[in-house]
Amino acid sequence: MWGGRFSASPAEIMEEINASIGFDKRLAPQDIAASKAHAAMLAETGIIEKADAAAIIEGLDKVGAEIAEGKFAFSRALEDVHMNVESRLKELIGTPAGRLHTARSRNDQVATDFKLYVRDRIDALSAALAMLQLAMVRKAEEHAATVMPGFTHLQPAQPVTFGHHMLAYVEMLGRDRGRLADARARLNECPLGAAALAGTSFPINRHLTAETLGFSKPTDNSLDSVSDRDFILETLAAASICAVHLSRFAEEIVLWSTPQFGFIKLSDKFTTGSSIMPQKRNPDAAELTRAKVGRIAGAFQSLLMVMKGLPLAYSKDMQEDKEVAFDALDSLTLAIAATTGMVDDMQPQPATLLAAAGSGYSTATDLADWLVRVLKMPFRDAHHVTGRIVAAAEAQNLPLDKLPLADMQAVEPRITADVLTVLSPEQSVESRVSHGGTAPQNVVKMAAGWRKRLESDQPKG
Ligand code: ARG
């Protein structure tokens, strides 16, 4: 492609470190779409002949078909996807192929291709996250009133409902989708026509190519257009946060499915056995989902470090953006799908959950609240009295709602039998009707709201 200036071929190791075709061939559909838009614009503006543009577009479609059918012979000597596509175009249509690269460079080309690619992946991720949210909403609806322990410090804290716990993740994933949507909106400006770094003297129409490729507008600074990769960084940051959410949930699945917790059962579809221990049911899908965040957040760090200190404009360093981004986006896609599968598959165990919810004096706060509400005690005093009652119950190895009233009255004589209306885990969750609280009626309402939003506002995918 640059034979005019060069007389010798690159060293073998030069070719090896330089070539990106091994991974950037994934960008072929975007490369072809962008080249078609560019060729059409060059004809529209009279920069090339209409007949040449038609031949180029037809030829590019053929190249695209060859690639889609796996019939394309990618060449490492041609470095990257852009040169592979253009070289094949030359073989297919001859001279007009050479006019395609007028008023553009691989620098604006690769930025455009990658933006198109990342945009598609964002849409697909958002759609997959919506499916996961919907699966969680279904579980929340089924288990709106299933009582389970809520934890802080992984110590029993207060009873909550299983549905409420599911909807906590639905909220997180909703924000993840919001972050992806923000990244999408910011990336959606077209770099094509920035050329190598300075723009071009040809009378191109950048608004036309931007519009053809579904961008909201052309980018406004040619140097910036070819030299930043913040659109990938931002997407990887959003992906990392999302992966952290999935990893926390995965950890809960791992814990919940142990015999010690017994909160959920996973079927054979989402567990594996051991080659030596016949009793085992290992939650491998959850463990791998928990682990994927390492690669995803690692990709974000990796590209941050690549970009740090790079002077404007394009440097080949930026070719390192692709492998990590591909791996991160693939990993997140897989983790979302696996999590959706596990949510559908998991069977919460209401009896175990309820028993666990009642253990650890988890309704002590309800007792303290009763003392405040009925006896008008200051909360700090109520906290102290309740602490003494819990100690008395612990001494007899009894849960709070089984401790004889007389023992409570020994600590605080004004306590009446009415206190028994607040001490069970079921009563506890039912009372938590404050906005955002865990009460079953809240969960039902919130789940219905989410269902409506998810079913009506399906993002493009
Ligand atoms: N394969 C290159 C990349 O991914 C394309 C841009 C090459 N530009 C250049 N001036 N060598 O970054």
Indicate if ligand 1 lies below 6 Å from the C-beta of 314: yes
Give distance in angstroms: CA of 44 to centre of ligand 1: 27
Indicate if ligand 1 lies below 6 Å from the C-beta of 112: no
* Predicted confidence band of residue 461 (pLDDT cuts 50, 70, 90): very low
Sequence ranges of the chain with CATH classification 1.20.200.10:
107-201+217-356
Tell me which residue has its CA closest to atom 4 in ligand 1: 319
* pLDDT above 80 (res 108): yes
360 within 8 A of 155, measured Cβ to Cβ: yes
Q: Would you name the residues annotated as active-site residues?
A: 153, 274
* pLDDT above 70 (res 458): no
Percent of the chain predicted with pLDDT > 70: 99
* Predicted confidence band of residue 460 (pLDDT cuts 50, 70, 90): very low
- Which of 27, 107, 310, 321 has most ligand 1 atoms within 8 Å of CB, for mutation? 107
Tell me which residue has its CA closest to atom 1 in ligand 1: 80
Indicate if ligand 1 lies below 6 Å from the C-beta of 31: no
Sequence ranges of the chain with CATH classification 1.10.40.30:
360-423
* pLDDT above 80 (res 218): yes
215 within 8 A of 119, measured Cβ to Cβ: no
192 within 8 A of 213, measured Cβ to Cβ: yes
State the DSSP code for 26. G
Q: Is 195 left (phi over 0), alpha (psi -120 to 50) or beta?
A: left
Architecture field, domain 107-201+217-356: Up-down Bundle (1.20)
Q: Does domain 360-423 bear CATH number 1.10.40.30?
A: yes
**pLDDT, tens digit (0-9, with 9 covering 90-100), for 295-333:** 999 999 999 999 999 999 999 999 999 999 999 999 999
Sequence ranges of the chain with CATH classification 1.10.275.10:
17-102
**pLDDT, tens digit (0-9, with 9 covering 90-100), for 168-188:** 999 999 999 999 999 999 999
253 within 8 A of 217, measured Cβ to Cβ: no
381 within 8 A of 388, measured Cβ to Cβ: no
Give distance in angstroms: CA of 111 to centre of ligand 1: 9
Give distance in angstroms: CA of 316 to centre of ligand 1: 6
The CATH superfamily label for domain 17-102 reads Fumarase/aspartase (N-terminal domain) (1.10.275.10)
Q: What residues contact residue 221 under an 8 Å CB cut-off, 6+ apart?
A: none
Average confidence score pLDDT of the chain:
96
**pLDDT, tens digit (0-9, with 9 covering 90-100), for 381-401:** 999 999 999 999 999 999 998
Q: Which of 261, 265, 66, 248 minimizes the C-alpha distance to 156?
A: 261
Helical H runs in 69-104?
A: 81-93
Give distance in angstroms: CA of 194 to centre of ligand 1: 14
Indicate if ligand 1 lies below 6 Å from the C-beta of 318: yes
* pLDDT above 50 (res 50): yes
